[in-house]
Structure 1
Amino acid sequence: MAFRIHKILNNNAVVVLDNGQEKIVMGAGIAFQKRKNDIIPSAKIEKIFVMEEENEKFQELLRTLPEEHIQIAEEIISYAEGELKAPLNNHIHIALTDHLSFAIERLQQGYRIQNKLLNEIKVLYKKEYQIGLWAKQLIKERLGVDIPDDEAGHIALHIHTAKMDAVSMNKTLQQTTLIREMIEIIERELHIKIDEESISYQRLLTHLRFAINRIENNEMFHSMDSEMLELIKTKYQKEFKCAAKIAQYAKQEYNLEFPDSELAYITLHIQRLKEKN
């Protein structure tokens, strides 16, 4: 299909009209030596976007951000879709591009980037974090900018949020923050420092994430017979008390309610964690 240029955003992005609808068309050098109403060669077209709600914002980013930042963001998104074998929500073209450009500029100005949720991200979003590390290497090769693993974690969160069935970035951050806070409660209550490389830690994090998802989606929990529940409460009193504190915190701060059977399963995870420490 042949398109005529309606608006030039940068060397690699233009706006076209298709039956009266604005579409953003991207491709390497697609607007080079072109002007309004010129026809775009179809061989130059790499991506076509229809941004229903955020069209103006995306156009503004494409006009104002450094082209190499936009190109890198698009490569990361394409790589992520290939690795995850799933399309990502269109909003990531705005969210990741904007975030990445700002992060690169801060690093170039000597600022440090920190991510308090990095350890949780590494475990909970393994595939996305590996994509973040790939992006780290790409940015180093293209721009000579060393981004820290903390930033690879931020990229991972953006990618996880952009999965077509994922929730909003705020929800992703809230869930990951709650899990971090739960771990801090366990360390404080049991006077231990958890080995974040251990399998027990990784299993606990994964269990907590699925438990939180079940509560948020009103899904059924695995049942546990009353005798087993009482046995766990009696045998692992400290650990059950710790699990109860976690549940109390989740209820007070996030309005999430854990059933007793789930507290028993969390207790067993905490016990394994304690043994390994």
Structure 2
Amino acid sequence: MSHRGEKGVDVDVLRVFNNNVVLARDGDREVILTGRGIGFQAKPGQHVDDAKIVRRFIPVDGKDPDHMAQQVAGIPPEIIRLVTDAMNRTGLKEQADKQPTLVMALADHICGAIQRAQRKQNIEYPLEAEVRSLYADEYAKGVAMVDAMNTYLGGALPRSEAVALALHLVNAGFSGGDLSATYTMTGIIQQMIAVIEGAYGITLAQDSVNVARFITHLRYLFVRIHQHEQLDDEPQPIIESIKTSYPKACQCARQLAVVVKMRLGSDLTEAEIAYLALHVARVTNGVNRQVD
């Protein structure tokens, strides 16, 4: 029984990585297929047995299919299935379908978490408080995923694993690499909030809507910096109007730009600083000062 791809062409084996992972040709693209025994005695050129396919990964963003398949081969297929099922049950089906690197990162983490649970080792994540406040949506999804997987694992995963899962979800929208960029971003956001609080003599409620919007703006700003695509085409009259209307916020935004320069080595454009000032003005509006 051969499997036919979306275009009605046979899916053929290109390379066998182990009994459970093969690289295959589906029309004009290469795909990674997983499933128990899918690679057993398979040879390049053979058709893939549809009944054995459990999961299909389509490399995106220029990812090397061979390297990605090698990563998948190191993860038991039942763990990949566990993670994708949990993602589907917690509203993350689109990410599971379109971001194979996220699925692999989560599955790899869960492998380690299960092994730690079997050894009765419990990890305390130092960023738990920050993740709860800065990435509330991702943390909620992380908790839901832990709960979903625990229905199959008999409660083996501690609730604290939701912190790590949340960081992986944040990372998926920011960087294709490891979590180091997300850890850095988290620290910078905390520092920038502290700069605003110091400049205005206030304490910001990190669970407020305006702070959440500000954090979202910062996250997209970091993506633009990472991709070298800062905003730089706003008409000068708009920028000047912001400077005139929000002088204190603009002064604070320039302090934040210094933080970005020191931490990321990137100078912010005048347009980015202006929009940063707008968010500073919004996030500080109506917040009671600690000192007059």
Scaled by the length of structure 1, the TM-score of the pair is 0.69
Give the secondary-structure state (helix, strand or coil) at the position aligned to 2:74. Answer: helix
State which of 151, 161, 177 in structure 1 corresponds to 2:187.
Answer: 177
- In structure 2, the partner of 1:36 is 41
- How many angstroms apart in 1 are the aligned matches of 2:207 and 2:34? 42
Q: Is 2:217 aligned against 1:207?
A: yes
Residues 251/16 of structure 1: CA separation in 2 closer, same or farther (3 Å cut): closer
Q: Does 1:242 align with 2:252?
A: yes
1:184 and 1:269 mapped to 2: Cα distance? 16
Q: Could you tell me how far 1:137 is from its partner in structure 2?
A: 0.9
1:219 to 214, 228, 231: 231
- SS class of match (1:53): helix
Contact in 1 for aligned 2:23/2:69 (Cα 8 Å):
no
Q: Secondary structure of 2:243's partner?
A: helix
In structure 2, C-alpha distance between the alignment counterparts of 1:204 and 1:74, rounded to whole Å: 31
C-alpha distance in 2 between matches for 1:41 and 1:103? 32
Question: Does residue 145 of the first structure (1) align with residue 156 of the second (2)?
Answer: yes
1:114–1:102 CA distance, 2 compared to 1 (3 A) = farther
Residue matched to 1:87: 97
Counterpart of 1:73 in structure 2 is 83
Q: Of 122, 141, 165, which aligns to 1:131?
A: 141
- Closer, same or farther: CA 55–244 of 1 in aligned 2, 3 Å: same
User: Per-residue displacement from partner, 1:63-101 (whole Å, max 9, x unpaired)?
Assistant: xxxx65443223245557854377333323432221222
**Gap change, CA 1:52 and 1:159, over 3 Å in 2:** farther
Letter paired with 2:55: K
Summarize deviations over 1:146-179 as a string: whole Å, max 9, x none.
433x53243234245446x965444444434322
Q: Which amino acid aligns with 2:188?
A: L
Q: Say yes or no: does 1:268 pair with 2:281.
A: yes
Asked if 1:120 is matched to 2:126, the reply is: no
Q: 1:54 aligns with which of 60, 63, 68?
A: 68
200-209 or 170-179, larger mean C-alpha shift = 170-179
Alignment match, 2:197: 187
Structure 2 distance, partners of 1:6, 1:250, is: 45
Q: Residue 135 of structure 1: CA displacement?
A: 0.8
Change (3 A) 1:46 1:276: farther
Residues 242-264 of structure 1 deviation map (CA, whole Å, 9 limit, x = unaligned): 33322211122212415253353
1:26 aligns with 34
Matched, 1:45 2:45: no
More helix per residue: 1
Aligned length: 256
1:58 to partner: Cα distance: 2.5
Equivalences for 1:222-233 in 2 at 5 Å?
224=238, 226=240, 229-233=243-247
SS in 1 for 2:212: helix
Q: Judge conservation of contact 2:21–2:33 (CA < 8 Å) in 1.
A: yes
Report the Cα distance in structure 2 between the residues aligned to 1:41 and 1:247, rounded to whole angstroms: 56
Q: Deviations over 1:189-214 (max 9, x none)?
A: 44433212212211222233344445
Contact 2:33 2:53 in 1 (8 A): yes
Cα distance change, pair 200–16 in 1 and its aligned pair in 2 (3 A): closer
* Aligned AA (1:269): R
1:91 maps to amino acid:
T
Q: Is the 8 A contact 1:74 1:93 kept in 2?
A: yes
Q: CA deviation at 1:56?
A: 2.7
1: CA distance between counterparts of 2:95 and 2:186? Answer: 24
Q: Which runs of 5+ in 2 are unaligned?
A: 4-11, 59-64
Q: In structure 2, what residue type is equivalent to 1:207?
A: H
Q: Residue 277 of structure 2 aligns to which amino acid in structure 1?
A: A
- The runs of 5 or more residues in structure 1 that have no matched partner are none
Amino acid at match of 2:84: E
User: Structure 1's 83 and 18: CA in aligned 2 closer, same or farther, altered over 3 A?
Assistant: closer
